[in-house]
Amino acid sequence: MIPKTHRRVVLARRPPAEPAESDFRVEEVPVPEPGPRQLLVRVVYLSLDPYMRGRMRDAASYAAPVGIGEVMTGGTVGEVVKSNHPDYKAGDIVEDRLGWQEYAVAPGPALRKVDASIAPISTANGVLGMPGMTAYFGLFEVGQPKAGETVVVSAASGAVGQVVGQLAKIAGCRAVGIAGGAKKCAFVKDTLGFDACIDYKAEKDLTAAVKAACPSGVDVYFDNVGGTVSDAVLANLNFYARIALCGSISQYNTADPGPRLMGTFVGKRVTARGFIVWDFNAKYGPALRQMGEWIRSGRLKFREDIVEGIDKAPRAFIGLLRGENFGKLQVKLGPDPGAR
Ligand SMILES: NC(=O)c1ccc[n+]([C@@H]2O[C@H](COP(=O)([O-])OP(=O)(O)OC[C@H]3O[C@@H](n4cnc5c(N)ncnc54)[C@H](OP(=O)(O)O)[C@@H]3O)[C@@H](O)[C@H]2O)c1
């Protein structure tokens, strides 16, 4: 039964540094009615991602900021509960960017139908969604790994990082992760099968730790964090190394990123390339099919970190920027029809 009202989370104000729960507001509003060729979707899983910190800032970026009082932006997996579009019926599972809310009206053609027989439907927000595609294209198209090379990835236990290292192994490379804490490192090494994982919170000399874990130097660096972790990797780059500049989460709450070691790239002829996952939109189809096969065959593993209830979203998002999540962070807003 469709309720009369539902909850949503809006941006209440722009945080100058680390966000607080009071920067968000939970509102109860009427459930909207879909118009012609539109659908009403009940959101089951809301994806929480680091890029959302950028949307809270009123600054020029590759995407527009969320306005004050507007629903926070976010990827979603949901169930169609009412359809006025011939291509969709009630019960279909769909992936879209419907934001931090329990119900939303969506225009039919923008939605991707999710095949619940491949993997749990939450993976459409994770390994078989935006973060998985980020890993796939960032590594293969930007990093250009060759068998026998060494690939280092930071935030290695996270949504993107956990996939990058496993794909590097599939490509025949040595995969070295960097993550915060012994538990995350044990998961990266023992469960995901990386060759090594460095706990950046425990190491006194991170540059030496990277050198020890990468005896032949670093050929590809998949950079998720920036800051001092990346400096330690940059100091160990080989000639003609490639850097996939994916994100710099260590800097998202600060205004001053400080000096970096990019000057050393010159002598070593390093290629560094920034990318946004949607640069590769046109190639998603084959990539998703390939990743789905690797999941079905057990070659690609994934870990999700799921909290329950839309009111928990602000706190969980703040934790993501502190490294408190362990795997792809999502919020479960209601019953999962794929798990029935
Ligand atoms: N370019 C693109 O199109 C694209 C697309 C998706 C994601 N990204 C970027 O990819 C990166 C990873 O995103 P994700 O979704 O996979 O998130 P995630 O890794 O699941 O979660 C974020 C992780 O970052 C680490 N972290 C947080 N603060 C840190 C700090 N100060 N220093 C070092 N590490 C820190 C934490 O892990 P530890 O406990 O291990 O520190 C935390 O768990 C982010 O920078 C994100 O912006 C880019």
To the nearest whole number, what is the mean pLDDT of the chain?
95
Task: Using the mean position of ligand 1's atoms as its centre, give its distance from the Cα of residue 325 in Å.
Answer: 10
Task: Using the mean position of ligand 1's atoms as its centre, give its distance from the Cα of residue 212 in Å.
Answer: 24
pLDDT of residue 111: 86
- The protein residue whose alpha carbon is closest to atom 6 in ligand 1 is 131
* Residues 88-139 pLDDT 10s: 999 999 999 999 999 999 987 778 999 999 999 999 999 999 999 999 999 9
Pocket of ligand 1 contains residue 230 by CB under 6 Å: no
pLDDT at 297 > cutoff 70: yes
Task: Using the mean position of ligand 1's atoms as its centre, give its distance from the Cα of residue 321 in Å.
Answer: 8
β-bridge pairing 218-223 and 150-154: parallel
pLDDT of residue 232: 97
Predicted TM-score (pTM) of this structure: 0.97
Task: Using the mean position of ligand 1's atoms as its centre, give its distance from the Cα of residue 183 in Å.
Answer: 17
pLDDT of residue 340: 56
- The protein residue whose alpha carbon is closest to atom 26 in ligand 1 is 323
* Residues 169-185 pLDDT 10s: 999 999 999 999 999 99
Task: Using the mean position of ligand 1's atoms as its centre, give its distance from the Cα of residue 43 in Å.
Answer: 24
pLDDT of residue 110: 74
Task: Using the mean position of ligand 1's atoms as its centre, give its distance from the Cα of residue 19 in Å.
Answer: 16
pLDDT of residue 292: 96
Pocket of ligand 1 contains residue 161 by CB under 6 Å: yes
* Residues 216-263 pLDDT 10s: 999 999 999 999 999 999 999 999 999 999 999 999 998 776 667 888
Pocket of ligand 1 contains residue 179 by CB under 6 Å: yes
pLDDT of residue 257: 67
* Residues 15-72 pLDDT 10s: 999 999 999 999 999 999 999 999 999 999 999 999 999 999 988 777 889 999 999 9
Residue 7 pLDDT class (50, 70, 90 cuts):
very high
Pocket of ligand 1 contains residue 317 by CB under 6 Å: no
Summarize the confidence of residues 135-150 as an average pLDDT. 98
- The protein residue whose alpha carbon is closest to atom 37 in ligand 1 is 323
